[in-house]
Homo-oligomer: A and B are copies of this chain.
Amino acid sequence: MASLTVENYIKTIFQVCLSGDGQAATGQLASALGVSPGTVTSMLKTLSESNLVTYTPYEGVRLTHAGNALALRVVRRHRLTELFLVKTLNMTWDEVHEEAEHMEHAVSDRLIDRIDEFLGRPEADPHGDPIPRSDGSFEIPASRTLAECGVGDKFRLSRVIDQSPEFLRFLSNSGLPLGTAGQVVANRIEAGIVTVSVEGQETTLGRAAAEKILVTPGR
């Protein structure tokens, strides 16, 4: 049985690998986990001995098949927990991450499967993050960032990368919850802004914010 610490390392390696070149560097893990680089190095050896990762000193770490499977289980627990809290208790998308961060290590896979069934086998969590399935399969739907859209593009807001409570609350307050349909009315690279129109209402976002929002082509 993987310890809470091991699960967190594996999950973090998974996320860093996904958002980069498929490898995770010691320093990235150290800052993501809030521990010192030396601690990460020694843990990577441990994980390597457990055959959860392949580790090449001074180069990086990547998940083995077993490591990937564990990461997907942890991510699945996290995301289904988030959605469960939203659906049952009417919690908001900015509240659930913190709770799920702890609960993901405490709920059994059996319980998670029941939650999955109760929720009707959802594909995504409240932030639009795809949910790994119980058979270990995992697909990331195609999408692009709002910053990549051209003027006139119609879109549907499908996923939010920056999940800080502040950003999520900003989106809610701006009438931009998940699933929102809209159209890009301006995208000025020089000025670093993107303006969208949603139900007649225009909102302007900085480029950094627009890059944290994923969209699919709108209707």
Chain A residues close to B by CB (< 8 Å): 85, 88-89, 91, 98-99, 102-103, 105-108, 111, 114-115, 118
- Which residues in B have their C-beta under 8 angstroms from that of A105? 106
Are B102 and A114 touching (Cβ within 8 A)?
no
What are 6 A-B contacts defined by CB distance under 8 Å?
A: A88-B88, A89-B115, A89-B118, A99-B107, A102-B108, A103-B107
Q: Name A106's closest neighbour in chain B (CB-CB).
A: B106
B111 touches A99 (CB 8 A): yes
5 closest A-B pairs by CB? A106-B106, A102-B106, A103-B106, A88-B88, A89-B114
| In the bound complex, CA of A15 to CA of B105 (Å) | 25
Interface majority SS (helix, strand, loop, mixed), chain A = helix
Query: Could you tell me if A91 and B114 are in contact, using CB atoms closer than 8 angstroms?
Result: yes
Across the interface, name the chain B residue whose C-beta is closest to A105.
B106
Q: What chain B residues lie within 8 Å of A111 (beta carbons)?
A: 85, 89, 99
Structural contact, A102 and B91, CB atoms closer than 8 A: no
